């Protein structure tokens, strides 16, 4: 999940490169029809970070809530608690 999420968040860097701050609702549909959805705050002027609450819905309809902070730039890392 995090590997796929990292690739998706890295792709958003081009979309929001000129934005100081933007709130977006994100729903990611995976190939297996599972979904990742959540509210994401994008801040790129100072800290170059994407932070937000992400909810992962699995096929068994159990939910995993994750706090995610994605650091863009040299490290390209994802920090989160599951």
pLDDT digits (tens, 9 = 90+) for 1-43: 344 444 444 444 444 444 444 444 444 444 444 455 555 444 4
The domain of 70 spans: 2-81
Number of separate domains in the chain = 1
Tens-digit pLDDT profile for residues 37-52 = 555 444 444 444 455 5
CA–CA distance, 48 with 57 (Å, rounded to integer) = 27
Structure tokens at 48: 């170059």
User: Pairing state of beta strands 77-81 and 63-71?
Assistant: antiparallel
Q: Does the pTM of the predicted model rise above 0.75?
A: no
Structure tokens at 49: 């970070």
Tens-digit pLDDT profile for residues 59-81 = 544 455 545 555 444 444 444 44
């Amino acid at each position: 999940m995090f590997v796929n999420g990292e690739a998706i968040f890295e792709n958003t860097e081009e979309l929001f490169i000129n934005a100081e701050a933007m709130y977006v609702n994100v729903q990611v549909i995976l190939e297996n029809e599972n979904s990742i959805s959540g509210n994401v705050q994008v801040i790129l002027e100072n800290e170059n970070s994407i932070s937000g609450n992400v909810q992962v819905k699995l096929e068994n309809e159990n939910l995993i809530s994750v706090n995610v902070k994605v650091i863009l730039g040299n490290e390209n890392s994802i920090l989160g608690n599951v």
